[in-house]
A and B are shown apart, each in its own frame.
Chain A
Amino acid sequence: MSSTSIINLPNQQTARMPKNHYLNSGYGLKSWALTLDHKRIAILYLLTTLFFFCIGGLMAALMRLELLTPAGDLVASDTYNKLFSIHGIIMVFFFLVPIAPAVLGNFLIPIMIGAKDVAFPKLNLLSYYIFLIGGFFELYSIIWGGVDTGWTFTTPLSTHYVNTNVISAAMGIFIAGFSSILTGLNFVVTIHRLRAPGMTWFRLPLFIWSYYATAIIFILATPVIAITMVLIAMERVFGIGVFDPALGGDPILFQHLFWFYSHPAVYVMILPGMGVMSEVVGCFSRKRVFGYTAVAFSSVAIAVFSFFVWAHHMFIMGISNYSALVFSLFSMLVAIPSAIKVFNWSATMYKGSITFETPMLYAFSFIGLFTIGGLTGVMLASLGMDIHMTETYFVVAHFHYVMVGGMVSAVMCGLHFWWPKITGRMYPEQLGKLAASTLFIGFNLTFFPQFILGYLGMPRRYHAYPAEFQVLNVMSTAGASILAIGYLLPAMYFLWSLKYGAIAGSNPWQATGLEWQIQSPPLKDNFEEIPVVDFEAYDYEWLANKTRHEVTNVG
């Protein structure tokens, strides 16, 4: 072990993969398709969501190529509209919302709280299949002609004016929504009922607190989008006049319903990332996360406040000026818990013993990009400023800083951090660092110019744009190609590592969580016997003691 790294691998000459683990507990399609093991379900989710990420990414690549020139010359207007609609729908509902909860959450929550599985394993498998069915609906909409409503399904455009597969796309979201609700329910019950003896609420890793907050949002907000999607389909099929002004409906009502889900959903996408950050920053600083209680409660505060800010997407839509005031104020308040988290992670590094492995690099990039994304959110929440900035590329840049710069960084961070636990093998560290840096550079080059474009007034969802915006668009497209390399690289070395990666051993990062005290990959039932927790979370002194007294020649 070098002095600049905490990686602690077993001797590669003698080390072998554990004899029994969840990956070899059964072979064949049936053992995967009908598995009730939360870890295998997590893997299924991982493969599915990554497949959707590839589709969404491909759409993004085509869009960036189109925007290389001001004229709409690569694809037709309708095609471009389908590209950004599919990109949005897939990335939001079939990648960002499920990836962190259903993949990392499914894999880690039971292990972290010392349980053998989630509370309802069959429900867990059912939610995967529901998600898959929703996904098939979405694929059907894409393959049989696409959908061009934008991911926001604005009425009356989506109900009366477009002739694409709106109903199947809406039904896909409707169905996938049930998967979210069931997953949320499962997590809440699991965290309440299945904690190991001694695992009190304030001994839980902060990861669990964020996922708990996420699950609450899942349960409370998702039904609203489901209802909204059904209303859209009914308005298209039966012509009921809920949203259509010609029939006495109110198109603004749709905006309220849609954003009542979709704003909390934004926090569904970012809260799990915050959970990952707390684990990783603590581990690579060898320290307990600064102000555990504040970080834990800030997750809950975000979940609560997130339900009272939806109309900040509607400041220019002719809602009452006074209600705009209230929503602006609440939007300012929801920024506070996020600010607390960022400061607490930074303060965690104070007097730490910091090393710079790949997950930590992603954590740095998360903290920086999320801060930029969050503060531009404050700009947008400021009423008078929002008028000029909303519906421009400024908004596009803002939410990509939060969603891609923040959440995708966090997902990459989490995948690298727990890859040894999931597969039992290490990814190549140097390549990992290269990929993390590539992503950071590519990301900024892609999305920073979009802030400037937005302030200049370039509207979003434009297939063709005035020539004076070209330079910044070319920069953005160039950045996107670097970004693509940043994604392809990990895809390749992760695959490579499955066979050739160094054997990780149970605790390569010398981290404190319960998941690191068991073998990698874990047993089918996680623990040989349910652990009794008699230590606080992130107690690195306890861990150091334990390691010192451990008999080193295992097996």
Chain B
Amino acid sequence: MHYISPVLWQFLEKWLGNSPLFPPEGSAMSVHVDVFFLFLLLVEIVGVTIVTLMVVTFTILYRKERHPVATQIEGSTLLEATWTLIPLAVFLVCFAWGALLYFRIYDPPTNAMNIYIVGKQWMWKAEHPGGQHEIDALHIPIDRPVQLTMISQDVFHSFSIPAFRIKREVIPGRYSTVWFEATKPGVYHLFCTQYCGTDHSAMVGWVYAMKPEDYRAWTQGSTSGSSLAQNGERLFASLGCHSCHTGQESARGPDLAGLYGSKVRLADGTYVTANDAYLRRSILTPGAQVVAGHSAIMPTYQGQVSEEGVIDLVQFIKSLNSNYRIKQGATAPELEPGQAGTPGTVPAEPAAQAQPGNRAGSAHTTPGTVK
């Protein structure tokens, strides 16, 4: 990252970062984006200056008083080629630089820690791997790549942290991801930037970038007692999944142990990688991609499991190295009575009617200002 001139680096970090006309730089990527922005700004200024200079000079030199009779000029191929090719070259540099940056912003490193985000009208829910839930807040450690796997429960939303220079659409029905590495502890804005209905402008929150030790303290202090995978295990048992996915050779459902990340052969002969999206699809629309050697008998869980529930189930399946936990769950299903109160299942009323005031369970109160 230090191939950028140290002087420019200082300028960005110390001066622009504290200017009220420039957003704070909170992530490793933000400086790279800002350097590119300054380059584009330079292109803009040079372009506008050239045009303005041409117009102003000509209007002064060739105004009617000074130059009463116009000289007719047909054109000039050489000149026109010049002002075609030079902008083209500059724009191609913008294209290449922008593309490199785009791939860096949207390709998460493999060692990133994963946090799930569920967007719904009009709140952001964050689910940490340890089971911490937050609403309209996101606690993250600095100096560590964090990947967000996001999905919407209703309409399009867009997850934006301007200080990190990242943004990605949060779409119903499919996971989208974005990643960042915060560099400075602080409190930053979190916005929904895709218009999503009545309280779009209230779908805002705060990102708390914390030192690793503070983050550890926070995770320990605000856990709900069970991790996502443990929630998933309970849900797995209460939905009766283990009656088919027993892990045995003769089972009606495919073996789930070690499934995550592996290549799965489908009934139509094609292969698919078992990632979050595949698992989600297989739970909600199981008929779409049937595993080879099994018949399409699994019922759909669309409308029965909420997006949070799917995330819990996926986390549970991810954690399965053997079928030990499944067998444990199958032998003691009565541990989780009361279907209605099961975490992760869809509540009786449609999610779309959720009220904005319904924010119980928020892990933290909203702070007053940034920094």
Contacts and interface: CB of A to CB of B under 8 A. Distances in A.
Given A346-B55, A385-B101, A391 B160 contact: yes
A328 B167 contact: no
A283 B73 CA distance: 14
Contact of B64 (A316, A346, A354, A376): A354
B137 interface: no
A287 B70 contact: yes
Nearest to B121: A161
Interface in A375-395: 375-376, 378-379, 381-388, 390-392
A251 interface: yes
B169 A318 contact: yes
Contact of B51 (A292, A325, A371, A384): A371
Given A321-B103, A384-B104, A251 B172 contact: yes
A177 to B, nearest CB: 23
Given A154-B194, A245-B173, A368-B51, A291 B75 contact: yes
A378 B158 contact: no
A375 B47 contact: yes
A343 B43 CA distance: 16
B297 interface: no
A555 interface: no
Interface in B148-196: 154-156, 158, 160, 162-163, 165-169, 171-174, 176, 189, 191-196
Given A246-B302, A318-B171, A388 B162 contact: yes
Contacts of A457: 23, 160, 162-163, 189, 191
Interface in B83-97: 83-84, 87-88, 91-92, 94-95, 97
B59 interface: yes
Contact of B72 (A248, A321, A368, A540): A540
A196 to B, nearest CB: 24
Nearest to B51: A371
A391 B55 contact: no
A62 to B, nearest CB: 16
Contact of A347 (B70, B79, B87): B79
Of B33, B59, B64, which is in contact with the most chain A CB atoms at under 10 Å from its CB?
B64
A368 B47 CA distance: 10
Contacts of A324: 102
Interface stretch (B197-205, B217-225, B308-316): B197-205
A353 interface: yes
B33 A351 contact: no
| Count class of interface residues, chain A | 35 or more
Contacts of B20: 468
Nearest to A544: B69
A340 interface: yes
B48 interface: yes
Contacts of B54: 343, 346-347, 349-350
A431 interface: no
A285 B70 CA distance: 7
A387 B69 CA distance: 51
Interface of B is mostly: mixed
A259 B80 CA distance: 32
Contact of B76 (A291, A386, A460): A291
A455 B174 CA distance: 29
Given A376-B44, A378-B40, A384-B105, A459 B160 contact: yes
B11 interface: no
Contacts of B197: 81, 148, 157, 161-162
Nearest to B170: A318
Interface in A129-158: 148, 150, 152, 154, 156-157
Contacts of B285: 248
Contacts of B40: 378-379, 382, 385
Contacts of B165: 387-388
B106 interface: yes
Given A288-B74, A315-B102, A385 B37 contact: yes
Interface stretch (A52-60, A270-278, A329-337, A523-531): A329-337
A13 interface: no
A15 interface: no
A81 B198 contact: yes
B192 to A, nearest CB: 7
B370 interface: yes
Given A315-B102, A368-B51, A251 B71 contact: no
B253 to A, nearest CB: 23
B101 A379 contact: no
Contact of A388 (B103, B167, B176, B192): B167
A468 B171 contact: no
A236 interface: no
B129 interface: no
Contact of B202 (A78, A154, A379, A464): A464
A349 B55 contact: yes
B62 A353 contact: yes
B216 interface: no
Contacts of B73: 287-288, 290, 350-351
B182 to A, nearest CB: 16
A246 B193 CA distance: 23
Given A336-B84, A342-B51, A452 B63 contact: no
B130 interface: no
B155 to A, nearest CB: 4
Of A291, A321, A381, which is in contact with the most chain B CB atoms at under 10 Å from its CB?
A291
Nearest to A344: B80
A379 B167 contact: no
B52 interface: yes
Interface in B233-275: none
A332 B22 contact: no
B36 interface: yes
B55 A336 contact: no
B68 interface: yes
Contact of B87 (A156, A160, A335, A462): A335
Contacts of B83: 339-340, 343
Given A154-B195, A291-B76, A385 B88 contact: no
A430 interface: no
Contact of A460 (B107, B156, B189, B193): B193
Contacts of A455: 22-23, 37
Given A375-B47, A457-B191, 19 more contacts: A4-B64, A6-B64, A148-B198, A154-B195, A157-B156, A162-B197, A251-B173, A286-B70, A292-B75, A316-B168, A328-B95, A340-B84, A343-B80, A350-B58, A375-B44, A383-B101, A384-B100, A456-B23, A464-B202
Interface of A: 3-6, 72, 77-78, 81, 148, 150, 152, 154, 156-157, 160-162, 245-246, 248, 251-252, 285-288, 290-294, 315-318, 321, 324-325, 328-329, 332-333, 335-336, 339-340, 342-344, 346-347, 349-356, 364, 367-368, 371-372, 375-376, 378-379, 381-388, 390-392, 452, 455-457, 459-466, 468, 540-541
22 contacts: A72-B201, A156-B155, A157-B195, A161-B155, A286-B69, A288-B72, A294-B75, A318-B176, A328-B99, A328-B102, A332-B91, A342-B51, A378-B43, A384-B33, A385-B36, A385-B37, A385-B101, A390-B193, A391-B167, A452-B21, A457-B189, A459-B193
Interface of B: 20-23, 32-33, 36-37, 40, 43-44, 47-48, 51-52, 54-55, 58-59, 62-65, 67-76, 79-80, 83-84, 87-88, 91-92, 94-95, 97-107, 121, 154-156, 158, 160, 162-163, 165-169, 171-174, 176, 189, 191-202, 204, 285, 302, 352, 370
Closest 10 CB pairs of A and B: A457-B162, A384-B101, A245-B173, A382-B98, A383-B102, A291-B75, A391-B193, A349-B58, A462-B201, A346-B54
